[in-house]
Amino acid sequence: MRLISTLLVATLAATTLTTSIAAACGGYVHVDPAPRVLAVSTHGLSANGRWTSRSFVVLEQEMKRNDDDKWRPLAPRSYDATQIMTLAQLSSPIELTLVGPSGVRVVKTNKQVALSRSWHIGFDKTRVALEVPFKTNDQFTIAIAGRATDAKWRELDYAESPATLAWWLGTQGIKNAEYPTLATVQGTDLEVIGFSQDGKSTLVVRQGDALLGSSMGHAIGAVTTNGRSYLVVSTEGFVGTLELPEITRA
């Protein structure tokens, strides 16, 4: 069975740093990489006669499902089919920043598990995850690797899609867009248009009539940290970021 690697632990433990790379014309340019953003998977369950929850930061690392006798239902007697297997604890805890509607919380954990058969990550996927402390009413959507106490989460405000939405997509060269949806990044004038194209979820970001960027997947919110803002996009159980223009509105 594959466990989380030492290299991955070091990467997760590191905060976002400014790195230097050689420029083509000589000298150096500074590149500030996007923060490493990970999905949070929360599951409600009954334990000792009361309703509670368990939450996990899901890593990109996949693993083969074997040793079926070691897997257990995460939420027995519920509609949640997720299965869990305990893995060896990490030699030292990892620092993560949970971000979402509940605000920001820095946590540390060394509890390593594997999750399988979960709609959160894909029923056909088995992924390594880190269990994090969670309260029943907490609402955290993502985790940032390292400490990011300045992070601010922005929800998406969905509105009725105007009839002109498909027309506007066509003016941008996007044909055969089905089921378009429209959402505004909370507190901004940035709009996210989601649609299906050839059976795949796709999105674009616009400001006024200007197309700013596009991505596969569907948007789950936006986060601002270290002076930069990112749309958080989920694709097949993974999350990634699409950088947004500077957000100056509250």
Q: How confident is the model at residue 183 (pLDDT cuts 50, 70, 90)?
A: very high
User: How confident is the prediction for the chain on average, in pLDDT?
Assistant: 83
**181, 158 contact by CB (below 8 A):** yes
Average pLDDT, integer, range 90-112 = 96
pLDDT digits (tens, 9 = 90+) for 9-43: 434 443 333 332 333 444 454 456 789 999 999 88
CA–CA gap between residue 240 and residue 185 (Å, rounded): 16
Helix or strand or coil: residue 115?
Answer: strand
For residue 248, name the pLDDT band (cuts at 50, 70, 90): low
Give CB contacts under 8 A, 24+ apart, made by 82-85: 82/43, 82/115, 82/116, 82/117, 82/118, 82/119, 82/120, 83/115, 83/116, 83/117, 83/118, 84/113, 84/114, 84/115, 84/116, 85/113, 85/114, 85/116
**For 174-179, what is the mean pLDDT?**
90
Residue pair 148/226 in contact (Cβ under 8 Å)? The answer is yes
What confidence score (pLDDT) does residue 6 get? 36
Query: For a pLDDT cut of 70, what percent of the chain falls above it?
Result: 84
Helix (H, G, I), strand (E, B) or coil at 250: coil
Give the single-character DSSP code of 81.
Answer: -
Does 163 or 85 have the greater pLDDT score? 85
- Give me the residue label for tokens 């946590």: 107
User: Is residue 108 predicted with pLDDT exceeding 80?
Assistant: yes
| Predicted pLDDT at 3 | 37
Lowest mean pLDDT among 14-18, 78-82, 94-98, 176-180: 14-18
Q: In this predicted model, what pLDDT tens digit does every residue of 188-197 receive, in sequence order?
A: 999 999 999 8
